[in-house]
A and B are shown apart, each in its own frame.
Chain A
Amino acid sequence: MSVISLFKGPMRQHINGHKDLSDHGDIKAVKAGKEVKIPLYATHSANFDVLVKEGDHVCVGTKLAQCNDRMIVPIYSSVSGTVKGTAKIMHAALKPVEHIVIENDDQYETTKAFAPLDYLEADKAELVEFVKNAGIVGCGGACFPTYIKYASDAKIDTLIINAVECEPYITSDYKMLNEYLDDMLYGIQAMRKMAGNPEVLIAIKETKKEMIAVLEKAVEGDRDHVSVAKVPDVYPMGWEKTLVQQLLKKTYNKLPSEVGAIVNNASTAITLGQALKEGTPLVEKIVTVSGDAVKHPCNVRVRIGTPVHEIMEAIGGYTCEDVKLISGGPMMGKTIVNDQFVIDRAVNALTVLENKPLSSVACLRCGSCSDHCPSGLQPVRIAQALNANDPVTMERLSVLDCVECGLCSYVCPSRLDVTENMRKAKRLMMLKAKK
């Protein structure tokens, strides 16, 4: 897919990543405060069976709750202390979510959440079961239960480890790769076994030269099975479909397994590696705190359930009073209107930007949104159909294939909220479908 094509737009765009703000400094450890709130969150359901009650003593690794609704997602405690009850507060995904409140005794008394597992000894079924029980979810942001990807019997030829990190400002994956390279390689081997020993590609931006050298060296002993795949520094290179298209030159409809691929985030592989080796669930995250309204942008190491305001206080706070606080990166992350929400398993960044309102003008029909849409959609036409309240045209324009990557708004010279129009159109379509 060349960038210059007569009948097709580029379907991608280079964006200044501002990665230098946070990629060179040390990781700062931010201690959990008196209280942590563990979100009972899964992408598909809010239906959790709570396994502890008020007053219970819990350890790091105690199972607090489990979602049994269609997909299994267990939730573990990240600190030791006393359960104080539950609270429904705003979650990083911009939804009110039930949280388990734990009074932190600062002892970090640990219990074995599950037994470690040697992937060499285990078979596929045992490994998938392990991934399910360990509560491994996609750490790239989607929070999708990982075991589902490996549970099917589809023939997998390629396992893609996604270390692209295409969202601007975020460097936490990069930092984690530096820190936990061995855990990642271990996790990758286990994933490889679960997927039926496919070829492994570790996808990373060609601009991250130092890291590529490190990775090349690390996979040297296993050249036949694992290789480093350099990809261009464009957005949204880290999206499954764009990545699969780039590396395998294949397009799929719904899931990468249709073309024999599984895509997992590098940090998910790290989490799995650590769980297998040590029998610990994900209790700690490395989170990038960056943006032009952060006084000292950096990466922090925090316990899951730590409120954002504690992190901001610990690293020096904001540069101005009027900000947009985003859970995630500036492209797909959601603005949250308070700093009381907590770090969850799939939160890898906090981006804080100065609030500079935009002045928009009328759409000039330049078609830049259509040229850049990585799904190949035509946002300008969809906006017109939305305006005309015309679901038939929206259907023909495949609006439901939009992944809300935000690129259409990013490129819009008229500064319109193009992506928001796509969301509205999708909501309208879903409503019609329900009726």
Chain B
Amino acid sequence: MKFNFNVSPNLRQKQSTRRIMAELTAALLVVYAFSLYFYYTRYDLDRAMQAVKLMVVSLAVALATESIWALVTKQKVKTFLMNSFGFVTAIILTLMCPLNITPFALGIATFFAIFFGKLLFGGFGQNIFNPAAFGRAIVFAAFAKASTDVITGATPTTLMATSYNWLPANNAAFTQLLDSIGGLGNMATGWYAGAIGETSAILLLIVGVVLAVRKVIDWRVPLIFISTVFVLGAVVGIAAGMSADLWIQYAAFHVLSGGVMFGAVFMLSDPVTSPTSAPGRCIFALGCAFITMLIRLKGNLPEGVLYSILLMNMLTPMIEKALDGKQNQIMKKAVTIFAVLALFAVGTSYVLGATGEKAEPAGHTAGIAQEVQR
């Protein structure tokens, strides 16, 4: 007989990190499958194959980078790859990019995401920035022009950003925008070309609910992020003097456009780069929503989700430290921080809505958009 020693407890639940990552991967592939279907039916096989090509390049670069790292640091390659989950980063990064990105640019971005974004920090669990967001930021910064013309025309998000400055001049202008993109319904189903995996809000919502129920992601993060974006959008809309039915649609537009839904489900929920405590994650999600709105309305970039995540990643250690202690003792502090931040966000949004520079597109831009999106 062999009686083994083991420190208690000697019982473990079934869910493992590997299973969490496997389920996350499955969820990402569902979203990806929708995209392939869209590009195949809406356009043609070539467009769908382009999406496949991008995914293959990104996965290959991710696995190659991690394999070489494992070899150089003298670790078993297979075990390292299985415990490092670089493929998840590659898939997320690909889904965040538009179909127009060149495979070369995506490959470089993947390398940066894996190597500088993760491995240099000490590998899985140690990285400060969300690696996929880090890689996507590299594309924004360095490969703005590295795009093909596989798909032509603007997405609803870029249209809103470039032609309307995220603040349509009047009710008529906003109605015109909604008309040109096929209404909010079209944005919800995601039947348009945008970032490969970010378009279908409904699908992302379903996937998010499933992941939350299965405890793969924390339900708090997407819930707070999405509802805050909606509330702040509504505040901006009301402050800008939109009519009752329009500010609701305006707020919904904020939720349905860009990377909000995708980010909520797959990026903000990344446990490695967000705070560990429940109230910390709530504050994190709230902060992301606020910064997203700030960048959208005042920044030079068309979209704010990505940078909001990276900025909040930097604040994560501070949030963690502020909430160190026992749950019941930090409760009051957490509620205070959350409430103050929420009030500040609402106030700022109101000012932005009331004073923001409203824009109306020159006639021809809207015309092009209409043509492309139909």
Chain B: minimal CB distance from A90 (Å): 11
Quick check: is B210 within 8 A (CB to CB) of the other chain? no
Chain B: minimal CB distance from A39 (Å): 19
Q: A324–B327 contact, CB under 8 A?
A: no
A364 proximity list for chain B (CB < 8 A): 17, 20, 124-125, 271-272
On whether A380 and B276 interact (CB within 8 A), knowing A168-B11, A366-B271, the answer reads yes
A326 proximity list for chain B (CB < 8 A): 8, 10
Closest 4 CB pairs of A and B: A406-B9, A376-B327, A367-B276, A362-B125
B296 proximity list for chain A (CB < 8 A): none
Q: What 0/1 readout, one digit per residue, does chain B (273-289) give for beta carbons within 8 Å of chain A?
A: 01111111110000000
Which among A23-31, A158-166, A178-186, A393-401 touches the partner chain?
A393-401
Q: B3–A323 contact, CB under 8 A?
A: yes
Chain B: residues with CB nearer than 8 A to chain A?
A: 1-13, 15-20, 83, 123-126, 218, 220, 224, 271-272, 274-282, 320, 324-329, 331, 334-335, 338
Quick check: is A295 within 8 A (CB to CB) of the other chain? no
Q: A409–B17 contact, CB under 8 A?
A: no
B17 touches which of A11, A397, A410, A414 (Cβ 8 Å): A414
- Known pairs A325-B3, A378-B324, A406-B8. 16 more at Cβ < 8 A? A7-B278, A9-B278, A15-B13, A335-B5, A335-B6, A336-B3, A361-B83, A367-B275, A373-B327, A376-B326, A377-B326, A381-B277, A398-B326, A413-B16, A413-B20, A419-B8
Q: CA A423 – CA B7 in complex, angstroms? A: 10
B8 touches which of A7, A13, A335 (Cβ 8 Å): A335
Q: CA A412 – CA B215 in complex, angstroms? A: 12
On whether A331 and B327 interact (CB within 8 A), knowing A7-B334, A364-B125, the answer reads no
Q: B282–A7 contact, CB under 8 A?
A: yes
Q: Nearest CB to that of A374 among chain B residues? A: B327
Chain B: minimal CB distance from A350 (Å): 12
B328 proximity list for chain A (CB < 8 A): 251, 376
Quick check: is A278 within 8 A (CB to CB) of the other chain? no
Quick check: is A322 within 8 A (CB to CB) of the other chain? yes
Quick check: is A337 within 8 A (CB to CB) of the other chain? yes
Chain A: minimal CB distance from B17 (Å): 5
Q: B8–A355 contact, CB under 8 A?
A: no
B278 touches which of A6, A325, A336 (Cβ 8 Å): A6
B5 proximity list for chain A (CB < 8 A): 335, 337
B279 proximity list for chain A (CB < 8 A): 6-8
Quick check: is A427 within 8 A (CB to CB) of the other chain? no
Interface hub of A334, A335, A409, A413 (most chain B Cβ within 10 A): A413
Q: Nearest CB to that of B334 among chain A residues? A: A7
Interface hub of A337, A353, A377, A381 (most chain B Cβ within 10 A): A381
Q: A381–B324 contact, CB under 8 A?
A: yes
Q: CA A375 – CA B329 in complex, angstroms? A: 11
Interface hub of A11, A330, A367 (most chain B Cβ within 10 A): A367
Residues of A in contact (CB 8 Å), total: 66
Q: B326–A419 contact, CB under 8 A?
A: no
Q: A355–B4 contact, CB under 8 A?
A: yes
Q: Provide a sorted-by-A list of 11 A–B residue pairs whose CB atoms are within 8 angstroms.
A: A6-B224, A6-B282, A7-B335, A323-B3, A326-B10, A335-B3, A335-B10, A355-B6, A361-B16, A366-B271, A377-B327
B272 proximity list for chain A (CB < 8 A): 364-365
Q: B13–A410 contact, CB under 8 A?
A: yes
Q: CA A5 – CA B328 in complex, angstroms? A: 12
Q: CA A365 – CA B272 in complex, angstroms? A: 5
Quick check: is A338 within 8 A (CB to CB) of the other chain? yes
B126 proximity list for chain A (CB < 8 A): 362
Q: CA A365 – CA B17 in complex, angstroms? A: 11
A7 touches which of B18, B124, B218, B331 (Cβ 8 Å): B331
On whether A355 and B2 interact (CB within 8 A), knowing A330-B9, A406-B8, the answer reads yes
B10 touches which of A353, A363, A412 (Cβ 8 Å): A353
Q: CA A301 – CA B109 in complex, angstroms? A: 68
Q: B3–A338 contact, CB under 8 A?
A: yes
Quick check: is A358 within 8 A (CB to CB) of the other chain? yes
Q: A413–B19 contact, CB under 8 A?
A: yes
Q: A393–B8 contact, CB under 8 A?
A: no
Q: A335–B4 contact, CB under 8 A?
A: yes
Q: A331–B278 contact, CB under 8 A?
A: no
Quick check: is A56 within 8 A (CB to CB) of the other chain? no
A216 proximity list for chain B (CB < 8 A): none
Q: B282–A370 contact, CB under 8 A?
A: no
Quick check: is A411 within 8 A (CB to CB) of the other chain? yes
Chain B: minimal CB distance from A390 (Å): 11
A380 proximity list for chain B (CB < 8 A): 276
Chain B: minimal CB distance from A184 (Å): 29
Chain B: minimal CB distance from A259 (Å): 14
A157 proximity list for chain B (CB < 8 A): none
Q: CA A278 – CA B370 in complex, angstroms? A: 94
B16 proximity list for chain A (CB < 8 A): 361, 413-415
Q: Nearest CB to that of A338 among chain B residues? A: B3
Q: B11–A397 contact, CB under 8 A?
A: no
A371 proximity list for chain B (CB < 8 A): 278
Chain B: minimal CB distance from A325 (Å): 5
On whether A393 and B324 interact (CB within 8 A), knowing A324-B3, A367-B281, the answer reads yes
B220 proximity list for chain A (CB < 8 A): 6
Q: CA A354 – CA B334 in complex, angstroms? A: 44
A273 proximity list for chain B (CB < 8 A): none
Quick check: is A417 within 8 A (CB to CB) of the other chain? yes
On whether A367 and B271 interact (CB within 8 A), knowing A323-B3, A324-B10, the answer reads yes
Interface hub of A321, A361, A397 (most chain B Cβ within 10 A): A361
Chain A: minimal CB distance from B62 (Å): 17
Q: CA A377 – CA B327 in complex, angstroms? A: 6
Chain A: minimal CB distance from B123 (Å): 7
